[in-house]
Amino acid sequence: MDLNLEQLQQTMRGLFPEVLGIQLVEAGRELVRAKLSVSEALCTTPGVMHGGALMAFADTLGAYATVLNLPDGAGTTTIESKTNFFSRATSGSEILGECRPLHRGRRTMVWETRVSRADGRLVAAVTQTQIVLPGELGAGEVLAGMFAEGEIAEHQKLLAGVERSGATLYRRWAESEVDTEARALLLEAAEREEKNAEVLESLQQERTEPK
């Protein structure tokens, strides 16, 4: 997904990241950087930033990093997050988050966000896993996904069932078709589907018969 820094910043308007005060500094497929001014409202005890606010800061960076690496139409959400705290971030200071990929797969992405103080001292390291949520798929993509994994024998068995279902549909449409020529074409299609299914089923039978 291609969004520039300004566009990404605008997506925070009216939402929790804007309430936190996150300001993006750099946003690319390999690195997302942002800064945040620690206000007293983000503290858990006077002058010390709340751990949950730190985690939310890092989570936001990981989410944006994932978005920049998503295929068109896909979405994402956090499914796991682990945080190690190393030092305090204090009210009135500014922290910097840098998010980099540890893994970018088709189904999940894993990101590490290191949050530091202005003096360079590490405040926290957050590792989070984002699931990739596919967008709405077309019929061809759904069908291709059915045969993306597994053995040939499994694919043939599955396809035989699809062919049988197709034959049933063709015959049902033929019954309601008033045009004689169209009805004949639908019945021919049904026969082809049934013959395809028979071929695949015979291959299955050959594999299961003792030799």
Where exactly are the structural domains of the chain? 5-133, 139-204
Q: How far apart are CA 74 and CA 107, in angstroms?
A: 11
For residue 2, pLDDT over 90 is answered with no
Q: What is the pLDDT of residues 124-177, one digit of tens each?
A: 999 999 998 887 655 565 566 667 667 888 888 888 888 888 888 888 888 888
Other CB atoms within a 10 A radius of the CB of residue 129 amount to: 17
User: Is 49:38 a contact under the CB 8 Å cutoff?
Assistant: yes
Which residue's entry shows tokens 């035989």?
160
| Domain 5-133 indexed as CATH 3.40.50.2000 | no
**Confidence at 88, pLDDT banded by 50, 70, 90:** very high
CA-based angle 207:198:160, to the nearest 5?
80
Q: What is the pLDDT of residues 29-80, one digit of tens each?
A: 999 999 999 999 999 998 999 999 999 999 999 999 999 999 888 889 998 9
